Amino acid sequence: MQIWVNGGLVDADSARVSVLDHGITVGDGVFETMKATDGQAFALTRHLDRLTASARGLGLPDPDHDEVRRACAAVLAANPMPLGRLRVTYTGGLSPLGSDRGDAPATLVVALGESTRRPDSTAVITVPWTRNERSALAGLKTTSYAENVVALARARENGASEALFANTVGQLCEGTGSNVFVVLDGQLLTPPVASGCLAGITRALAVEWTGAQEADLPFDVLERADEIFLTSTLRDVQAVHRVDGRDLPGAPGPVTAKAMRVFEERAQDNLEP
Ligand SMILES: Cc1ncc(COP(=O)(O)O)c(C=O)c1O
């Protein structure tokens, strides 16, 4: 496995960043995860734009898109696989201990891991912890993801693959690594970005391709929704068949099944939607 670290490819075994990198000491970094099929990244341009938006949100220098593209291409070429998770990590670099950032250059790492196609449906849980829609980090894809680690571990303990959060005012927000859609009275709805969720790229494409509407939704909509689905880079559109103790028999329901079909068709036709 070859990994890109600060300007070139190295063997995974010798890929190193400083132990004083601000990404390691305080989680001062941003990242993107892309789906790579047969060596080609999906929606790379959208992911690069979000990487820049996240970096700006943290006050990091803009990542050099040409360099990130070169790094992605090199990693994909060096590690052929049918389905991969292409991960770009960009951090504050070597810094003093503590929250102040140094003036060293940012760190750029691009790595690829093998992935498998997700099942068409999955179980989710809700968690009591909240997303803070007023956080300095709201909407940024940062490496400060330990809250997601905790919530996802809780999901796994309960036989689920995702945990869903409300925000601080009790509205449905998102999962640890996915956005959420519900069908209510025949309408396909998803929380707005103002709820504190990440502006998911799969979410944006699903909204565009299905005509789903954004709406503030109470968290307990999950107890009533006729259908629920998740969107994310590696899930695409994935039906939910259980939320906590509630079964949704027949998932994917008709609206979800149509969204899955439309997403698959549209994404197949266009690597840069
Ligand atoms: C917190 C969070 N929400 C939503 C998503 C879904 O975003 P995307 O569709 O761009 O993968 C992710 C990304 O994996 C995420 O980390």
Beta-bridge mates of residue 5: 8, 109
Q: Residue of the nearest CA to atom 7 in ligand 1?
A: 200
pLDDT tens readout for residues 202-234: 999 999 999 999 999 999 999 999 999 999 999
Position 127 scores a pLDDT of 98
What is the identity of the amino acid at 246?
Answer: R
In tens, the pLDDT along 67-120 reads 999 999 999 999 999 999 999 999 999 999 999 999 999 999 999 999 999 999
Average pLDDT, the chain: 98
Q: Which atom of ligand 1 is nearest to the CA of 198?
A: 3
**Which residues share a beta bridge with 242?**
123, 247
CB 152, CB 270: distance < 8 Å: no
177-195 pLDDT per residue, tens: 999 999 999 999 999 999 9
Atom 12 of ligand 1 has which residue's CA nearest to it? 177
Please identify, by atom number, the ligand 1 atom nearest to the C-alpha of residue 204: 9
Pocket test for ligand 1, best of 54, 141, 195, 235 (most atoms within 8 A of CB): 141
